[in-house]
Structure 1
Amino acid sequence: MSILSENLRHLRAQTKLSQQKVADALLISRGAYEKYESDHAQPPNDTLVRISRYFKVSIDLLLTVDLRKYPLESLMKLSDNRILLPITVDNTGENKIQIVPYKAQMGYVNGFSDPEYIGGLQHISLPFLRNAIYRGFPAEGDSMPPFKDGTYIIGRYVEKITEMKAGKNYLIVTRGGFVYKKLTSIGENSIWVKSDNTYFEPYEISSYDLLQVWEYQYSLLKDYDILDFADNSVKEMFLSLKEDIKRIEKHIIQ
Structure 2
Amino acid sequence: MSIFSDNIRCLRAKKGVSQQKIADALIMTRARYVSYEDGRSEPPIEILIRLSSYFKISIDLLVAVDIRKYSIDNITNLPDNRIVLPIKVGENNENKIEIVPHRGKMGYLVGYSDPEYIENLQHMSLPFLRNGKYRAFPVEGDSMPPYNNGSYIIGKYVEKKEDLKSGKTYIFITGDGILYKRYLKEGGLNDVLKSDNTFYKPYEINWKDVLEVWEFGGSINTKEFETQTSEHFEIKNMFEILRNEIQLIRNQ
Instruction: Name the TM-score, length of structure 1 as normaliser.
Output: 0.55
SS in 1 for 2:224: coil
Alignment partner for residue 143 of structure 2, among 128, 142, 145? 145
Q: CA deviation at 1:164?
A: 1.4
Code of the aligned partner of 1:202: I
- What are structure 2's unaligned runs of at least 5 residues? 228-252
Q: CA deviation at 1:80?
A: 8.4
Identity between Structure 1 and Structure 2 (%)? 33
| 8 A contact 2:151–2:222 mirrored in 1 | yes
State how far apart, in whole Å, the 2-side matches of 1:226 and 1:69 are. Answer: 43
Q: Please show how residues 112-131 of structure 1 align to structure 2 within 5 Å.
A: 117=120, 120-121=122-123, 123=124
Q: 1:78 to 1:225 in 2, by over 3 A?
A: same
Q: Please show how residues 48-87 of structure 1 align to structure 2 within 5 Å.
A: 48-59=48-59, 61-63=61-63, 65-72=65-72, 74=73, 83-87=84-88
- Superposed CA RMSD in Å reads 4.9
Q: Which has the higher contact order (CA 8 A, sep 6+)?
A: 1
2:171 corresponding residue in structure 1:
171
2:28 corresponding residue in structure 1:
28
Deviation per CA, 1:68-118: give whole Å up to 9, x if none: 21134x25x868898535355686x7667664322233367345996x646
Q: CA deviation at 1:43?
A: 3.1
SS in 2 for 1:84: strand
| 8 A contact 2:138–2:150 mirrored in 1 | yes
Q: 1:98 to 1:4 in 2, by over 3 A?
A: closer
Alignment partner for residue 204 of structure 1, among 207, 210, 213? 207
Instruction: Name the TM-score, length of structure 2 as normaliser.
Output: 0.55
2:45 corresponding residue in structure 1:
44
Q: CA deviation at 1:170?
A: 0.9
SS in 1 for 2:143: coil
Q: CA deviation at 1:165?
A: 1.5
Q: 1:14 to 1:101 in 2, by over 3 A?
A: same
Q: CA deviation at 1:49?
A: 4.0
State how far apart, in whole Å, the 1-side matches of 2:192 and 2:2 are. Answer: 34
Q: 1:178 to 1:112 in 2, by over 3 A?
A: farther
Q: CA deviation at 1:137?
A: 1.8
| 8 A contact 1:153–1:216 mirrored in 2 | no
SS in 1 for 2:85: coil
SS in 2 for 1:160: coil
Equivalences, count: 211
Q: CA deviation at 1:27?
A: 0.4
| 8 A contact 2:165–2:183 mirrored in 1 | yes
Code of the aligned partner of 2:215: E
- What are structure 1's unaligned runs of at least 5 residues? 228-254
SS in 1 for 2:165: coil
